[in-house]
């Protein structure tokens, strides 16, 4: 699992009993993002989807750099 964590595909593991509440918490957090923050990442997923994962990561990195992150 360490490679999956290193890639940033997962960041937390919860018990089955906590899954619904934690999923709702994360969904609320994502829904509260400002559109200018969320839209580049949504575009990456919509544009290339999971079948072109490496391209999606490239687009996400570009968006992070544009928003002032390290990417």
Judge whether residue 28 has pLDDT over 50.
yes
Q: Determine the Cα–Cα distance for residues 71 and 61; give it in Å rounded to an integer.
A: 4
pTM higher than 0.85, yes or no?
A: no
In percent, how much of the chain has pLDDT > 90?
15
Same domain flag for 9 and 25: yes
For 69, the domain range is: 34-71
Same domain flag for 26 and 38: no
Rounded mean pLDDT, 61-70: 75
Same domain flag for 71 and 38: yes
Judge whether residue 36 has pLDDT over 70.
yes
Same domain flag for 38 and 11: no
What domain count does the chain have? 2
Same domain flag for 38 and 21: no
Judge whether residue 13 has pLDDT over 70.
yes
Judge whether residue 65 has pLDDT over 80.
yes
CB 55 within 8 A of CB 48: yes
Same domain flag for 56 and 26: no
């Amino acid at each position: 699992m360490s490679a999956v964590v290193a890639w940033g595909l997962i960041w937390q593991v919860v018990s089955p009993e906590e899954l619904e509440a934690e999923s709702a918490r994360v969904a609320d957090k994502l829904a509260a993002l400002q559109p200018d923050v969320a839209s580049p990442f949504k575009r990456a997923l919509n544009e290339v989807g999971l079948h072109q994962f490496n391209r999606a990561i490239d687009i996400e990195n570009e968006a992070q750099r544009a928003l002032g992150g390290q990417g």
